[in-house]
Amino acid sequence: MNSKELYNQYKTKMQKIADVKYASAVLQWDQETYLPPKGNAIRGRQIATLSEMAHQQFTEEATGDLLNALMSKNDLTDKEQKNVLLSLEDFNKSKKLSSDFVRRMSEAVNTGFHAWIQARKDNSFTSFKQPLDALIQLKKQEADLLGYQQHPYNALMNDYDKGLTVNIVDKIFSDLKPQLSALLNTIQNKPQIDNSFLKKHFKKDSQWQFGMAILKQMNFDFEAGRQDISEHPFTINFNNNDVRITTRIDENDFGNMTWSCIHEAGHALYEQGLPGDEYGLPLGEYCSLTIHESQSRLWENNVGRGLSFWQHHYPLLNTVFPDQFKGIDVEQFYKGINKVQPSLIRTEADELTYHFHVMIRYEIEKMLIEGSLKTKDIPDCWNSYYNDYLGVQVPDDKRGCLQDVHWSHGSFGYFATYSLGSLYAAQLYAAINRQNPTLENELALGNNTALLQWLRQQIHQYGRYHTSEELCKKATGETLNSAYFINYAAKKYNGIYTL
């Protein structure tokens, strides 16, 4: 069989496996948005069955034979070679996990997610403890099965960013933490910003309509996606023409919905920009979760908390909520949405203290996976870290260790990508502004086109072709450099707090 025939056979097989995976993803999306409560148990079975089927199809010997046959060909295109190489890496990794293990993990995630929902309703960690412990034990087994060097947590972080290790993240965080603390201390010695106007009453329907207007202006393609409500905002895709996002709305907090919309839209724009002709193949998938978070954090913070963005959107906001923002000009609004203050909730945190929220979760996860922290001790450990890192007292579990959905999904190893994504975002945004000095003026006019085109060209089009660091160097001229974030933050908050 010639190379072209073999490659077409490979492509067909990979796309059929993707069909099964994305069918499961549709069920997961429905589970978090519209599924009636009594459907929980059977839905978990359906998702587990599809997960097991996809894993069996991908890890069968015929797949390995096909990939190895393609690896021996020397007339594939560069992109074809990369697809095959990455698929072979995925195949060898997936072979380390049995189909039975994949099914048990899927069932545990389903149980864990619904237990988390109930625990939040009860505002008690107690009912989540046992399902979470079952997930943690499975994740520890997964780390052992996948194999690792130095620390078991490395095996799990590698799932979200290839090559990411405890040593790498520890060094980044140890460099970042004192600089953030110094900037935070300086800000806390200045008169505090008043953002009370963000805590007035904002009707749910009006917030929803404003959020939808923001998404449209950001060029989110509603013919290739939709937005709904969920307990925790998330983005999910089934192909680049079907990307779904969710938000949540608090009628007494304008920021809750607004920046979750912008954040998730950043994820969605990335998914909508991936190459559709590579569906089911590695080059049709995102580079890494770290780069994915760079896209959401860039839109949420560098753009969505920027003065230029609101110079265009603030007049619309005033027409939607004329009473709530009466007497507040755009400069006051800009300062209010960038108020720096230690707080309880990660998704509502300012750009500086946000990293401490991430560091806390990272440290807790490391201890859980290495076995030095027991599941039952999570609330006390969490509360102690919040007091040490942020100086805040955690009043209850819902605003403490139950606030994030990630553990109920089995997503251990994810949290570091949020901070790393913010660092990449600052570096990318600096590169965009160097190459397009009129960008801020364009944003002030409501024109995001040049920004999105740059991201499409420099990030989105490549799929998984490059690693995170390779992609960063290609786009900015150097690998990750946290100085860009520190310089960005110092300049921004100097203007807001007159440091």
Question: Residues 64-85: pLDDT tens digits?
Answer: 999 999 999 999 999 999 999 9
In a shared domain, residues 87 and 177: no
> Is 133 domain-assigned?
no
User: Helices marked H in 371-448 — which ranges?
Assistant: 378-390, 416-435, 439-444
Q: Are residues 77 and 210 in the same domain?
A: no
Domain carrying residue 22: 3-95
Average pLDDT, integer, range 259-265: 96
Kindly report which listed range (10-14, 42-46, 131-135, 265-269) carries the lowest average pLDDT score.
42-46
- Nearest to 397, CA basis, from 125, 132, 127, 133: 125
Predicted confidence (pLDDT) at residue 499 exceeds the cutoff of 90 = no
Q: Which residues contact 318 (CB under 8 A, 6 or more apart)?
A: 325
pLDDT band at 106 (very low <50, low <70, confident <90, very high): very high
Q: What is the mean pLDDT of residues 7-31?
A: 97
Give the end of a domain, one of 79, 95, 111. Answer: 95
Q: Render pLDDT for 276-305 as a digit per residue (tens, 0 to 9).
A: 999 999 999 999 999 999 999 999 999 999
Residues 322 and 431 in one domain: yes
Query: For 464-485, what is the mean pLDDT?
Result: 97
Half-sphere exposure at residue 325, Cβ-oriented, CA atoms within 13 angstroms: 20
For 155, the token pair is: 């095996």
Residue type, 334: Y
Residues 79 and 201 in one domain: no
Give the burial class of 215: count Cβ atoms within 10 A of its Cβ; 0-12 exposed, 13-18 middle, 19 or more buried: buried
Q: How many angstroms separate the CA atoms of 416 and 484, rounded?
A: 18
Confidence of residue 29 (pLDDT cuts 50, 70, 90): very high
Provide the token pair at 221: 């393609």
Q: Is residue 101 part of a domain?
A: no
The structure tokens listed for 239 are 């192909």
Mark which of 52, 80, 95 sits at the end of a domain: 95
Q: Within the chain, what is the greatest distance between any pair of CA atoms?
A: 74
410: CATH: 1.10.1370.30
Residues 412 and 318 in one domain: yes
Q: Decide: helix, strand or coil at residue 229.
A: strand
Q: Mean per-residue pLDDT for 420-449?
A: 97
Share the mean pLDDT of the chain.
96
307 located within any domain? yes
90 and 170 in a common domain: no
Q: How far is CA 75 from the centre of its chain?
A: 37
Q: pLDDT band at 403, cuts 50/70/90?
A: very high
Residue 50 lies in a domain: yes
Stated pTM of the model: 0.94
Residues 195, 338, single domain; the answer is yes
Domain count, the chain: 2
Start-to-end Cα distance in the chain: 69
Strands 235-239 and 225-229 come out as: unpaired
247 backbone dihedrals φ, ψ, rounded to 5°: -140, 175
Residues 461 and 348 in one domain: yes
Residues 242 and 371 placed together within one structural domain of the fold: yes
Q: What pLDDT, in 10s, does the model give residues 340-392? A: 999 999 988 999 999 999 999 999 999 999 999 999 999 999 999 999 999 99
Per-residue pLDDT, averaged over 133-138, amounts to 98
Catalytic residue list: 264
Cβ atoms of 284 and 275 closer than 8 Å: yes
Half-sphere exposure of 237 (CA within 13 A, CB side): 22
According to the model, what pLDDT value does residue 1 have? Answer: 82
Residues 38, 170: one domain?
A: no
Question: Looking at the domain assignment, is residue 83 inside a domain?
Answer: yes
Residue of 301, 235, 302 lying closest to 269 (CA atoms): 235
Last residue in a domain, options 68, 95, 122: 95
Q: Is the dihedral of CA 488, 493, 498, 499 positive or negative?
A: negative
Residue 173 in domain: yes
- Same domain for 57 and 187: no
CA angle 435, 439, 440 (to 5 degrees): 135
User: Angle, nearest 10°, between helix axes 204-217 and 307-320?
Assistant: 140
- Asked if the structure places residue 356 within a domain, the reply is yes
Pair 78, 210 in one domain: no
- Which residue type occupies 16? K
130 in a structural domain: no
Percent of the chain with pLDDT over 90: 98
